Structure 1
Amino acid sequence: MPADRANRTLLTILALVLLVLGIAILLAGTDVFGSGFGRRPLLDNPPARFIGTHGGWVWPLAAVAAAILALLGLRWLATVITTEPSQRRINISTDGTAGRTVLDAGALATAIRAEVEDCPGVEDVDTKLSGQPHAPRLALNVTADRDVDLPALRERIEALVLPRIRYALGKPDLPVSLDLTYPRRRRTHIG
């Protein structure tokens, strides 16, 4: 996923920047930057004097930089938190020579739901198609009857249903996430 890759890259860069700053602070305390540098007062240093002298333009520039960083942080947070949107159309054609075949994702989800519900012991199926139109991903959440053997149902879906779906889409490597659960028990109230 591109968002995961961007997330890892951004966190790695942030970690490296913080590591370099931490090492620089440790080295400043050991007089690597000159004798007495680590023992100088914090506010009596050239950067503080520069900011004090040129505060008329430094602080507004710092505010703009902080606002840009805050917006980038919010964008990053939104990318991490939001889920991938559902796919509306799936591109079925495998090569460009035969033309372009596009299938409505809602119709495909209905067909997949009907196919999985035909398996004995299935109570409910929730389907979600995501990814790119030419590289979709399928997520199946199947609720099974309490009397059904889940491993056997999983084998049946993987051996019979998923190959037919992949064949119909012309995507033998279609990634599928399969989640099998039992229904929640209903609480009965007495009285």
Structure 2
Amino acid sequence: MNRPAAANRTLVGLAGLALLAAGGYALAAHYGHLSWVDTGAPLVPGPAAPPTWVFLAVIAGAALLALLCLRWLFAQPFRMPKSVGWQVGGDDRTGRTVLRSGTAAAPVAADIEGYPGVRNAQAWLSGGPDTPQLHLLVTAAPAADVAELRRRILGHAVTRLRAALEVEIIPVTLELRFADEQRALQ
């Protein structure tokens, strides 16, 4: 169970519900459906309108919040498949071996984490045992040589996985992220 992802979805869902409730309350108040709200009363005390900078600050804050929400939204599509069980040879009469795809992918991540300049690596396998697909999420140091890292991943880690699974081709998707040096130094 991925607890940070579950907490993230829960908090985002609760924030969405709170915003929906606030919007529904504002609409109900605007159209006079709430008996305790005086629709003719000013929103702010006093007869004068707020200074122009207040409106600009509210607009800038709303735009910044919208951009942050869009950034979060665009970060969501990179989802990894769940680990599945693969039957490796045999049948019910002679016995069979079940290999979890996560178990087969773990050594790939361990290999990649040993490469120079790599801070963290995660690997997932999807598809069937005859047509696996490898998904990689690699966090590297900012000074890492991307071309060399890619060459080493494809030439070493993927080659070893192909040999272990006894398949000719494994399609690979690679997301490469760079570590924040300031966070690493703290």
Per the normalisation by structure 1, the TM-score is 0.46
Q: Which is helix-richer, 1 or 2?
A: 1
Per the normalisation by structure 2, the TM-score is 0.47
